[in-house]
């Protein structure tokens, strides 16, 4: 095997690049922004000034800075680029068009897949950081044409969740946040008996996915589901076995 240098690249082997919000929340294991979440290397790039408040207000003035982060990750050798916020779907089309490598900025991109593997008359639940910001425009950008089949629960009024991830007080009470997330999922299920799956929109929610599944018995999709899937798309493994 002969290897060749890639000009300008200083490290190798990081297939997935993650564009990060400018956030001060604790990123625990299981969170998109925690490297120990993955069993493969990832590379992170923060967008200075792109706060939670700005992204929830659908701030398109950040597009140039998000694009710059994507370009840097591509130069550093990643094979595909994601993000740590479902609302970065705002920038999906532009980055996918310009970067010429797979770009999957939002967990919401899984919605068309989810809606196509269950009966047309069933419901898909979404737990989101802020239900007021998760508009039909955002859902349409993710490719979900059947928004009437979606039921949404926002966590913006949950005190422990809000303190950690919206107000960014600097601490995270894991057991209390887990209770809030699980109760929100159970409320969705009680209100909609035809619920067939739950999508966790926010990148901080994967650590609670197992608890949500245990409480509801439903398939649970999240950011890490998508990132692991895409990693195995861009890094195929040869299989050794026998017959």
Q: Which domains does the chain have, with CATH numbers?
A: 16-106+227-234 (3.40.50.1860), 108-222 (3.40.50.1860)
Place of tokens 């929830």: 56
Place of tokens 């900025």: 105
Residues 58 and 46: their CA atoms lie apart, in Å, by: 18
Mean pLDDT, residues 228-238: 96
Work out the number of other CB atoms within 10 angstroms of the CB of residue 150: 18
Per-residue model confidence (pLDDT) at position 148: 84
**What pLDDT was estimated at residue 6?**
84
DSSP-assigned beta bridge partners for residue 47:
none
Which residues pair with residue 56 across a beta bridge? Answer: none
Tell me phi and psi for residue 31, to 5 degrees: -70, 145
Instruction: For residues 95-118, give the mean pLDDT.
Output: 96
Task: State the pLDDT confidence band at 75, using cuts at 50, 70 and 90.
Answer: very high
Closest CA to 123 of 198, 23, 190, 234: 198
pLDDT band at 52 (very low <50, low <70, confident <90, very high): very high
pLDDT of 89: 97
Sheet holding 150-154, edge to edge: 150-154, 123-128, 195-200, 220-221
Mean pLDDT on 26-40: 97
What is the distance of C-alpha 191 from the center of its chain? 25
Query: What does the pLDDT read at residue 4?
Result: 85
Q: Which of 210, 237, 234, 233 is nearest to 222 (CA)?
A: 210
Average pLDDT of every residue of the chain: 95
Least confident of 30-39, 96-105, 113-122, 218-227: 113-122
Q: Whole-prediction pTM value?
A: 0.94
**The pLDDT of residue 146:** 76
Q: How far apart are CA 58 and CA 134, in angstroms?
A: 10
Q: What percent of the chain is predicted at pLDDT more than 70? A: 100
């Amino acid at each position: 095997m002969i290897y060749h240098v890639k000009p300008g690249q200083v490290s190798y082997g990081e297939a997935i690049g993650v564009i990060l919000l400018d956030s001060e929340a604790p990123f625990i294991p299981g969170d998109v922004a925690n490297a120990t979440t993955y069993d493969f290397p990832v590379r992170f790039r923060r967008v200075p000034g792109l706060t939670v408040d700005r992204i929830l207000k659908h701030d398109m003035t950040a597009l140039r800075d998000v694009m710059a982060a994507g370009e840097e990750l591509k130069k550093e050798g990643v094979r595909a680029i994601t993000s740590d916020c479902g609302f970065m779907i705002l920038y999906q089309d532009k980055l996918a068009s310009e970067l010429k490598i797979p770009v999957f900025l939002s967990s919401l991109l899984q919605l068309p897949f989810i809606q196509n593997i269950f009966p047309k008359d069933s419901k898909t639940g979404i737990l989101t950081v802020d239900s007021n910001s998760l508009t039909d425009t955002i859902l349409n950008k993710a490719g979900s044409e059947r928004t009437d089949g979606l039921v949404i629960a926002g966590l913006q009024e949950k005190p422990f969740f809000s303190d950690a991830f919206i107000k960014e007080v600097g601490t995270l009470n894991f057991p209390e946040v887990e209770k809030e997330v699980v109760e929100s999922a159970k409320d969705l299920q009680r209100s909609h008996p035809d619920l067939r799956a739950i999508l966790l929109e926010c990148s901080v929610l994967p650590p609670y996915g197992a608890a949500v599944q245990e409480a509801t018995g439903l398939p649970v999709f999240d950011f890490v589901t998508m990132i692991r899937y895409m990693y195995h798309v861009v890094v195929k493994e040869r299989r050794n076995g026998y017959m």
